[in-house]
Amino acid sequence: MARASSNRRKTVVTVLAWAIGLLIFFPILWTVLTSFKTEAEAVASPPSFINFHWTLENYAEVQSRSDYFRHFLNSVVISLGSTVLGLIIAIPAAWSMAFVPAKRTKDILMWMLSTKMLPPVGVLIPIYLIFRDIGLLDSLLGLIIVLMLINLPIIIWMLFTYFREIPGEILEAARMDGAGLKAELLYVLTPMAVPGIASTLLLNIILAWNEAFWTLNLTAAKAAPLTAFIASYSSPEGLFYAKLSAASTMAIAPILILGWFSQKQLVRGLTFGAVK
Amino acid sequence: MNYRAWLCGAVSACALGFAAHAETITIATVNNGDMIRMQKLTDDFTKDHPDIQLEWVTLEENVLRQRVTTDIATKGGQYDVMTIGNYEVPIWGKQGWLMALDDLPAGYDRADLLPAIAGGLSVEGKLYAVPFYGESAMLMYRTDLAEKAGIKMSDQPTWTDIKAAAKAMTDKDNEVYGICLRGKAGWGENMAFLTAMSNSYGARWFDMDWKPQFDSPEWKATLTDYLDMMKTYGPPGASSNGFNENLALFQQGKCGMWIDATVAASFVTNAKDSTVADSVGFAQFPNKDGVDNHGNWLWSWNLAIPASTKKADAAKAFVAWATSRHYTELVAASEGWAASPPGTRTSLYENPEYQKAAPFAKMTLDAINSVDTKKPSVQEVPYTGGQFVSIPEFQGIGTAVGQLFSAALAGNMSADQALQAAQALTSREMTKAGYIK
């Protein structure tokens, strides 16, 4: 009896989980389907789900109009660069906060988080002027620095949460064995925190990949990533929904694939320390 | 073999040397059909100017506006040519942000530019941008539905005619709505339409002391009639409809009439996308009985050169090419006359082949020629601009007022409440900005 009730509950939870999953995935599915329609079918009412004239002409048009691979490459360089640079700064910062906390460590952590509460447009003009004066407008290096700074609080917080779970005694033992600070960080702490670092890396790559304020405002032709590529297909005067969907599908495909293959790691990272 | 390697090396070195001397200009442009077409045809320009290379930044209108405004205001220098509207040109020209374009090549034929369009791009007689394409607004209607309803649409209908036609064409059971108008909030969305409509009702945004006029009987008549028509004969959810949503509805045969930008004419008559392509009629923007004003809607996308550019000669060569008669002929040769950018040159409208290819040509020209942006209302005004007020504060104020009118259309407030709130909000902002002492 108890087993039957448990099975029923399991089925209900599974069905509910699938329903929510499909609901969340539906906009992406719809974008992909629309990318294979003609512009007329894309706005047809009632819309057709799969019973339409499938075409690849939108992809051909997008490819002929824009240099997808240049934008893709820029996205890869910006997201990887900002994440790696962020990790190089965040690992020692999180180490010090987790293992050598000072009186104000908690306040510093809260302050770092509070910087995320400032709307980016509030600092657009100062940053734009600084970038203009030091020649970083429309450069990959400029975007790597800005996105690293934006995501740094999240990276530090995530790593701090991981590091706190590692027993301090292990590090102490390493020190007793003669390990210096560099050796302690590189050969003891980092290998133990690899799962945490990996999920932080993945999450930040996704955040940097999707960032669409700074990447749009600080770039022109040379450093524009895929967010600018998508923005070039949106128009308030003219129906280009099918082409916009094709451009969106091409832009999200790489990160969707990365997310699919690393979902286990990502979920583990995001839920680490959530239940105690 | 050795000789070949040397030859290859020499050719590569020459190519590199040449590339090093080539000047690259960066062009920021809006994403619409005409601009995309221009990008595809630039080989014609680079063939004659091998020393100039072009880099494109194509963006959605609002993103583009934000980007180029930031860049020009901070003298960022990211762009050498900018695509901007006739709202920005006079404001930026006065600020000294744009380069005057009075010394374009002799063959440019400036006199051929439509006077209404060129006038909107000039400050104290100096041209600060050249028009790429221009538009006004007009009525597009279904001739088959009008015939079925026994209506003969005049070329210059009044709002009374429009109301009667909307009533006769509405067939909600078959999802056919008599009239589709913009309802989505925004200074370039519902407020573009409602400002033009208010002009045709004899209303104005400000009196000569810059005091807002939403408490005037003309504005009350405008908003009341707009809401009545839309709530009785308009499509459901109209408060979310902008240009694209109404275009989709019209193309699917769900609108009896649509009053919007003249550029829509080429979309609704394109059989590839429109199910009603062969039954579309055109008429001028309506006016209220007794008011001699057809809205004064005038918009153009223009190419301008920031004063800060270091590549002025190359940028000038490019804007002269892109807005020349030669370019119009190039588009016609490659994609047909109907695809030529409309609303900029008199010669295009005098061309019999264009007249044949574009059945909406005469109505578009009439609509543009009837505009006087220096006198948008029949009452005296201290500003210029047709469907907008050409002051820097208008984007913010227009969008905030647009939100109120959109809320009234959605049924969240009455016309009176929306007008009162608009009056209070605009008075406050204009006082803050120093217009009202």
Per-residue pLDDT tens digits for A170-205: 888 888 888 888 888 888 888 888 888 988 999 999
- Residue B345 DSSP label: B
Instruction: Give the residue from chain B lying closest to A219, CA to CA.
Output: B78
**Alpha carbon distances (Å) from B380 to B11, B375, B377:** 68, 7, 7
Question: Which residue type is seen at B53?
Answer: Q
Question: How does DSSP assign B90-120, residue by residue?
Answer: HHHHHHT-B-------GGG-GGGB-HHHHHH
Residues A111 and A245: their CA atoms lie apart, in Å, by: 39
Sort B279 into a burial class: Cβ within 10 Å, 0-12 / 13-18 / 19+. middle
Question: Residue B179: beta bridge partners?
Answer: B257
Low-confidence ranges of chain A (pLDDT < 70): 1-2, 269-276
Q: A61 in contact with B at a CB cutoff of 8 Å?
A: no
CB contact (8 A) between residue B261 and residue A232: no
Residues of chain A positioned with their CB less than 8 A from the CB of B41:
none
Instruction: Give the residue from chain B lying closest to A129, CA to CA.
Output: B74
CB contact (8 A) between residue B70 and residue A238: no
Structure-token pair, residue B181: 């108008």
Q: A123 in contact with B at a CB cutoff of 8 Å?
A: no
Give CA torsion, residues B143, B145, B147, B151, to 10 deg: -100
Pick from B28, B70, B275: CB nearest A217:
B70
pLDDT given at position A88: 95
Structure-token pair, residue B102: 């009075």
Backbone angles phi, psi at B256, to 5 degrees: -75, -45
**b or e along B68-86 (b: 16 or more beta carbons within 10 Å of the residue's beta carbon)?**
bbbbbebebbbbbbbbbbb
Classify A193 as helix, strand or coil: coil
Residues B359 and B281: their CA atoms lie apart, in Å, by: 9
The shortest C-alpha distance from B380 to chain A (Å) reads: 32
CB contact (8 A) between residue A45 and residue B261: no
Residues B217 and B229: their CA atoms lie apart, in Å, by: 18
Instruction: Give the residue from chain B lying closest to A236, CA to CA.
Output: B244
Predicted confidence pLDDT, tens digits, chain B (437 residues):
455 556 555 555 544 444 445 799 999 998 887 888 899 899 999 999 999 999 999 888 888 988 999 999 999 999 999 999 999 999 999 999 999 998 888 789 999 999 989 988 999 889 999 999 999 999 999 999 999 999 999 999 999 999 999 999 999 999 999 999 999 999 999 999 999 999 999 999 999 999 999 999 999 999 999 999 999 999 999 999 999 899 999 999 999 999 999 988 888 988 888 999 999 999 999 999 999 999 999 999 999 999 999 999 999 999 999 999 999 999 999 988 988 899 999 999 999 999 998 888 888 898 899 899 889 999 999 999 999 999 999 999 999 999 999 999 999 999 999 999 999 999 999 999 999 98
Residues B190 and B184: their CA atoms lie apart, in Å, by: 6
Domains of chain B by start residue, with CATH: 22-135+298-357 (3.40.190.10), 137-297+378-432 (3.40.190.10)
**b or e along A209-226 (b: 16 or more beta carbons within 10 Å of the residue's beta carbon)?**
bebeebbbbbbbbbbbbb
**pLDDT digits over A101-123, tens only?**
899 999 999 999 898 888 999 99
Q: A57 in contact with B at a CB cutoff of 8 Å?
A: no
The shortest C-alpha distance from A238 to chain B (Å) reads: 6
Sort B165 into a burial class: Cβ within 10 Å, 0-12 / 13-18 / 19+. buried
Residues of chain B positioned with their CB less than 8 A from the CB of A247:
none
Pick from B76, B244, B252: CB nearest A236:
B244
State the pTM of this model: 0.82
CB contact (8 A) between residue A236 and residue B243: yes
Residues of chain B positioned with their CB less than 8 A from the CB of A45:
248, 252, 254
Question: Which residue type is seen at A8?
Answer: R
Structure-token pair, residue A82: 């900002």
Q: What residues of chain A, 236 to 275, have a C-beta less than 8 Å from chain B?
A: 236-240
Residues B300 and B90: their CA atoms lie apart, in Å, by: 13
Enter the ipTM: 0.77
Pick from A138, A216, A237: CB nearest B63:
A216
Query: Which numeric CATH code is attached to A66-232?
Result: 1.10.3720.10
Instruction: Give the residue from chain A lying closest to B55, CA to CA.
Output: A221
Pick from B26, B67, B263: CB nearest A217:
B67
CB contact (8 A) between residue B62 and residue A236: yes
Instruction: Give the residue from chain B lying closest to A62, CA to CA.
Output: B36
Pick from B36, B63, B78: CB nearest A137:
B78
The shortest C-alpha distance from B319 to chain A (Å) reads: 19
Residues B425 and B400: their CA atoms lie apart, in Å, by: 8
